[in-house]
Homo-oligomer: A and B are copies of this chain.
Amino acid sequence: MPEFPADSVGLVTPQTAHFDDPLDLACGKTLPAYDLVYETYGTLNAERTNAVLICHALSGHHHAAGFHEADDRKPGWWDAHIGPGKSIDTNHFFVVSLNNLGGCHGSTGPVSENPATGRQWGPDFPMMTVGDWVHSQARLADRLGIERFAAVIGGSLGGMQVLQWALSYPERIANAAVIAATPKLSAQNIAFNEVARQAIRSDPDFHDGWYNEHGKVPRRGLKLARMVGHITYLSEDAMGSKFGRDLRSEDLNFGYGVEFQVESYLRHQGDTFSSSFDANTYLLMTKALDYFDPAAVHGGVLAKAVKPARCPFLVVSFTSDWRFPPSRSRELANALIRAGKSVSYVNIASPHGHDAFLLPEPRYQAVFAAFMSRAARELGLEERS
């Protein structure tokens, strides 16, 4: 018998929902049919009022909590916050976590077959937006018989989906938790994404996106993209205290092998990622980030854009996050306040940069748990344990 921690959701099995109704996309194209891979943790109550949707970030997927195999060394990516007694308490909530369209972990994306050609979609896979994802997630909710989510929750790009839920389906979301996100990318954010895209697209093994048909993987480009990404996920201080200027060996070798620990870390992160993630998916996800800007059609006035929202918001930022710094979360919180919405904004002291949203930090956990407890109480959810 596998022994999982008492606060783990334990062994989980991904499921697949197939959709035959075409999905019209913001780019003007239509996805004729598609699969969404998802996991659930906890039990949907009879009234179907206790469902929570988890939206994933740039390189995330459906496996947010628990273990796929008894001997898995690592749990899902948000296991710190999902489980019995955790912030998103599976004693109260039925948690749904999916892989977004365009992803490379089972949901329909560039590595899936294009029914029109019988080939992989590859670079022909249509561009996705945060709005498209939210529509597809709403269809998954329909399929699961969930009329209204008790909460929609996400960090980073996931937080953008949460905000979009509150605007696209205000009647279907009871609470929104937008964590380490931004209402739109800055020019610098876009610049970093563009470097990542150029790294991938200029890799000779990219073959205009048809690398799989050429039996190639643009590993060099993916590695560089991930290395750049990692620099923006960690704070300067976190990098400094983790690696400082520590050398791998005793002395400088005056060559281009690894000399400093931080070089070794980045190369390892890049190598691991480049052998597991699809390049077309990475491109598409960075574009979805760049495009997100709900205020754009409201003359740039975010307080106007958020008018449709009805639910209470929890907005969380982290002091050392320089990818989406606290000022971006404050921008959102202020717009919500100006629009007369209910919003709690908390800036959590953390040295871990953008990555802090993934980690357990007592004050973060306390704030998060309190928001979810209130949600559970107000929705009349009973503790099942």
Residues of A within 8 A of B (CB): 26-28, 126-127, 184-188, 190-192, 194-195, 197-199, 201-204, 220, 223-224, 227-228, 230-231, 234, 236, 239-240, 242-245, 252, 254-256, 259-263, 266-267, 270, 283, 287, 290-291, 293, 296
Q: Which residues on B sit within 8 Å (CB–CB) of A240? A: 186-188
CB neighbours (8 Å) of A27 from chain B are 254
Known contacts A27-B254, A127-B254, A224-B224; is-contact A244 B187 (Cβ 8 Å): yes
Q: How far is the CB of A211 from chain B (nearest CB, A)?
A: 14
CB–CB B197/A256 < 8 A = yes
**In the bound complex, how far is the Cα of B245 from the Cα of A296, in angstroms?**
10
In whole angstroms, how far apart are the Cα atoms of A231 and B223 in the complex? 19
Given A187-B242, A187-B244, A188-B240, A262-B198 contact (CB < 8 Å):
no
Give Cα A201 to B227, complex, Å.
Answer: 14
> How many copies of this chain?
2
Neighbour of A224 across the interface among B191, B199, B230, CB < 8 A = B199
Question: CA–CA, A245 to B252, complex, Å?
Answer: 43
Do residues B239 and A191 form an inter-chain contact, with CB atoms below 8 A? yes
B197 touches A199 (CB 8 A): no
**Complexed CA–CA distance, A262 and B189 (Å):** 10
**A187-B242, A236-B188 known; A195 and B228 CB under 8 Å?**
yes
Q: List 9 A-B contacts (CB under 8 A).
A: A187-B240, A191-B239, A191-B263, A195-B228, A198-B267, A202-B220, A202-B223, A245-B293, A256-B287
Closest-CB distance, A325 to chain B (whole angstroms): 9
What's the minimum C-beta distance from A31 to chain B, rounded to whole angstroms?
Answer: 14
**Complex Cα spacing A234 to B186, Å:** 13
Q: Are B227 and A190 in contact (CB under 8 A)?
A: no
Q: Is the CB of A252 within 8 A of B291?
A: yes
Question: In the complex the two chains form, is B267's CB within 8 Å of A190's CB?
Answer: no
A228 surroundings in chain B (CB, below 8 A): 195, 228
User: Do the beta carbons of B227 and A198 come within 8 Å of each other?
Assistant: yes
Tell whether, in the assembled complex, residue A192 and residue B231 are in contact, meaning their CB atoms are under 8 Å apart: yes
A202 to B274, CA, bound (A): 13
Which chain B residue shows the least CB distance to A300? B245
Residues on the B chain within 8 Å of A184, using CB: 245
| Complex alpha-carbon distance, A201 and B290, angstroms | 29
In this complex, which of A234, A240, A256 has the most chain B Cβ atoms within 10 angstroms of its Cβ? A256
